[in-house]
Amino acid sequence: MVITKCWQCLMNFPSEFIANVNNVMLQLNKLGKDDPRRVIHSLKVSLAITLVSTFYYFKPLYDSFGSSAMWAVITVIVVSEFSVGATLGKGLNRGFATFLAGVLGLGSYYIVHLISSGNTIMESILLGIIIFLATAGVTYIRFLPKMKARYDYGLLVFILTYCLVCVSSFREHEIIDTAQDRVTTILVGGLISVLVNILLCPVWAGCDLQNLVSNNIEKLSNFLEGFGDEYFGTLEAGKLNKSLMQGYKSVLNSKQVEDNLTNFARWEPCHGRFGYHHPWQQYQKIGNLSRQCAYRIDALNGFLNNFTKTPKEIRSKIQEPCIQMSIETGKALKQLAISIHKMIPPIAAKTHITTSKIYATNLKSMIKTKLWEDTNLFEVGPVVTVASLLLDVVCSIEKLVESVQELSTLAKFKNKENNIAVEDQKEVPQPCCNSSGPQHVITIVPEDIVQ
């Protein structure tokens, strides 16, 4: 039995090996097609390592630095990241931490050497105490949230370098030359890695953050624009792109990516439309508000598959305001996404959110009336819940509009359109039920805001 199974495994090995290789090749091909920048990044890292390897290839350089040249290669491998911000952050952390730890390590060695007066036992005890205190202190500092977010790698390198310098100084008498060579090669390796990353097809974390936040808001708008028709069944089956509506689910798990991109973007120099002191923190705030809205949308999504349990005549009582609220909030989100992407003030989004608030007022008035008399409360419950969730969505998006407006002010977004933005002839319902007729909204943008 065992021999038979081993024989079968041996016979199936070639076919399984070929299938696995083909699967890996397909995944690699898909990886490159999804984001061609990954292929370019791989070539940039290989180029940086090739350049820094000249420390070994050219004898004058090797004679100057010796085996310490390996630290330049290690630095390039460790520091090279996908985006400019990540590479620059790691490079600066490693460079400053190495330099500071080297200086403090040498200083500690000379102080201990003077105090001990040549007594090796006392010298080893004092070095041990200093290393213990320094390591404990820096490790404790790593728990601070701000230090953890931006300088954790630098603190880790500081501990490593400081301990290496202090410990090796006990046996090595040429510690200054060794420390100087290592610090120099590490700085050169980090500089080469940063320059290659910036000068050759740079990938900016700030641009990725802007696109991520903008795309997330657009995914929310895709759901809301189709929710009303999907829930109330006003469109024929197949006309709505349900897979597009479900795109909001990726927004729920985007916090970690946004936080990382925000941290990397802070390290990046001025580039493109992003100047110094760009309000990157505001993108985090917008992302958090987008996720709050996504959670409410996720709750609404739960009613799409169960709407048939509620009679159509009950749903039709609040159909008009709910559909209009869904459409207007979707349009508001769409305009917010455009505003963030094009870096223009969210003027059109304010108009849509104002319209949705008017429909929300009408919906509240309808719910408070005797509209639900002679109806089963168990049948009314889901409909009222949907209406309540839509009202929460309107409030959530209103906060999102305010946050984007704050970003527009801080980042000094400029409107590239005309100074006067006029909405086309569009009916806006009145808060009261006895509306005398349609009105038209005209939004006049002051010249000082546009400029």
Indicate the pLDDT class of residue 240, thresholds 50, 70 and 90: low
Q: What is the maximum span of the chain, computed from C-alpha positions, in angstroms? A: 99
3-state secondary structure 101-165: HHHHHHHHHHHHHHHHCCCHHHHHHHHHHHHHHHHHHHHHHCCCHHHHHHCHHHHHHHHHHHHHH
Lowest mean pLDDT among 12-16, 243-247, 338-342, 437-441: 437-441
Q: Which of 404, 84, 401, 449 is nearest to 272 (CA)?
A: 84
Q: Which residues contact 359 (CB under 8 A, 6 or more apart)?
A: 321, 324, 325, 328, 429
Helices and strands of the chain, counted as H and E runs: 19, 2
Q: Is 10 exposed, middle or buried (0-12, 13-18, 19+ CB in 10 A)?
A: exposed
CA geometry: angle 166, 170, 173, nearest 5 deg: 105
Per-residue pLDDT for 9 more than 60?
yes
User: Could you read off the pLDDT of 352-408 as tens digits, one per residue?
Assistant: 988 888 888 888 877 777 566 666 666 677 778 888 888 999 999 999 999 999 999
Per the CB < 8 A criterion, the answer to whether 69 and 55 are in contact is yes
Per the CB < 8 A criterion, the answer to whether 429 and 358 are in contact is yes
According to DSSP, the residues that pair with 420 across neighbouring strands are 444
Radius of gyration of the chain (CA): 31
Determine the pLDDT at residue 429.
43
CA geometry: angle 89, 92, 95, nearest 5 deg: 145
Per-residue pLDDT for 315 more than 80?
no
Q: Which of 310, 309, 293, 294 is nearest to 395 (CA)?
A: 293
pTM: 0.80
User: Could you read off the pLDDT of 148-187 as tens digits, one per residue?
Assistant: 888 999 999 999 888 888 887 766 666 777 777 778 888 8
According to DSSP, the residues that pair with 421 across neighbouring strands are 443
Residue 407, token pair as written in the block: 């970003």
- The average pLDDT across 410-432 equals 52
Determine the pLDDT at residue 59.
76
Helix (H, G, I), strand (E, B) or coil at 274: strand
Give me the count of residues in the chain: 451
Which residue shows structure tokens 């050759």?
200
Coarse DSSP helix, strand, coil percentages of the chain, rounded to the nearest 5 percent: 80, 0, 20
- The average pLDDT across 399-421 equals 78
- Calpha distance 290→333 (Å, rounded): 10
User: Could you read off the pLDDT of 20-75 as tens digits, one per residue?
Assistant: 888 888 888 888 888 888 899 999 999 999 988 887 777 777 777 777 778 888 88
What are φ and ψ of residue 69, in 5° steps? -60, -25
Residue 265, token pair as written in the block: 């973007």
Determine the pLDDT at residue 424.
38
